[in-house]
Amino acid sequence: MKSVSSPRAGNDVRAQIESLREGIRTHDYRYYVLADPTISDFEYDKLLKRLADLEAAHPDLVTPDSPTQRVGGEPTKIFNQVRHPVPMLSLANTYSEEDLMDFDRRVRGLLGDVAYEYVSELKFDGVALRLIYEKGVLVLAATRGDGETGDDITANVRTIRSVPLKLKLSRETEAYSNIEVRGEVLMNREGFQRMNREREENGEKTFANPRNATAGTLKLQDPKEVARRPLRFFSYYLISGEAEVGSQWESLQLLKKLGLPVSEHAKLCRGIDGVIDNARYWENERDRLPFEIDGNVVKVNSFEAQRTLGAVARNPRWAIAYKFAARQATTVLRDIVVQVGRIGTVTPVAELEPVYLAGSTISRATLHNEDYIKEKDVRVGDTVVVEKSGDVIPAIVGYVKEKRPGGTKPYRFPRKCPACGEPVVRGEGEAAYYCENFECPAQVRGRIEHFASRRAMDIEGMGESVVDQLVTAGLLKSIADIYDLPRHRRELEALDRWGRKSVDNIISSIEKSKSRPFSKLVFGLGIRHVGERTAQLLTEHFGSMDELMNADQDKLQFVSDIGPAIADSVHRYFQDGRNRELIARLRGAGTRFQEDVVKKGGRLSGKTFVVTGTLAAYKRDEARELIESLGGKVTESVSRNTDYVVVGENPGSKYDKAQKLKIAILDEEQFKKLIEKSG
Query: In the chain, what is the straight-line distance between the N-terminal and C-terminal CA atoms, in Å?
Result: 44
Q: Which of the residues 208 through 237 are near ligand IVH (CB under 6 A)?
A: 236-237
In the set 121, 292, 481, 595, which binds ligand IVH (CB under 6 A)?
A: 121
Least Å distance, CB 604 to ligand IVH, is 51
Least Å distance, CB 156 to ligand IVH, is 17
CB 306 within 8 Å of CB 332: no
CB 127 within 8 Å of CB 157: no
Least Å distance, CB 291 to ligand IVH, is 11
The 3-class SS string of 70-84 reads HHCCCCCCCCCEEEC
Beta bridge partners of 83: 149
Distance CA 263, CA 278 (A): 15
Pick the closer one to ligand IVH by CB: 132 or 535.
132
CB 427 within 8 Å of CB 568: no
Pick the closer one to ligand IVH by CB: 181 or 297.
297
Q: What is the DSSP string of 207-224?
A: PSSHHHHHHHHHT-S-HH
Least Å distance, CB 315 to ligand IVH, is 8
In the set 21, 27, 84, 123, which binds ligand IVH (CB under 6 A)?
A: 123
141 binds ligand IVH per the rule CB under 6 A: no
Pick the closer one to ligand IVH by CB: 293 or 350.
293
Pick the closer one to ligand IVH by CB: 251 or 641.
251
In the set 39, 47, 89, 597, which binds ligand IVH (CB under 6 A)?
A: 89
Distance CA 549, CA 538 (A): 11
In the bound complex, which residue of the shown chain has the CB atom lying closest to ligand IVH? Answer: 128
- The residue type of 472 is T
Q: Which residues contact 178 (CB under 8 A, 6 or more apart)?
A: 133, 134, 135, 241
CB 132 within 8 Å of CB 191: no
Pick the closer one to ligand IVH by CB: 306 or 534.
306
91 binds ligand IVH per the rule CB under 6 A: yes
Q: What torsion, rounded to 10 degrees, do the Cα atoms 562, 568, 571, 573 define?
A: -110
123 is catalytic: yes
Q: Which residues contact 7 (CB under 8 A, 6 or more apart)?
A: none
Least Å distance, CB 161 to ligand IVH, is 20
Least Å distance, CB 205 to ligand IVH, is 25
Distance CA 283, CA 275 (A): 12
Least Å distance, CB 212 to ligand IVH, is 14
Q: Which stretch binds ligand IVH (CB under 6 A): 6-14, 218-226, 315-323, 366-374?
A: 315-323
Among the listed residues 2, 46, 49, 123, the single catalytic one is 123
In the set 51, 128, 138, 610, which binds ligand IVH (CB under 6 A)?
A: 128
Handedness of CA 521, 523, 524, 527 (dihedral sign): positive
In the set 28, 104, 180, 184, which binds ligand IVH (CB under 6 A)?
A: 184
Q: Which stretch binds ligand IVH (CB under 6 A): 87-95, 103-111, 166-174, 442-450?
A: 87-95
268 binds ligand IVH per the rule CB under 6 A: no
CA 583 to chain centre: 31
Distance CA 298, CA 117 (A): 10
Q: Known catalytic residues?
A: 123
Binding site for ligand IVH (CB under 6 A): 89-91, 121-124, 128, 144, 184, 236-237, 297, 316, 319, 321
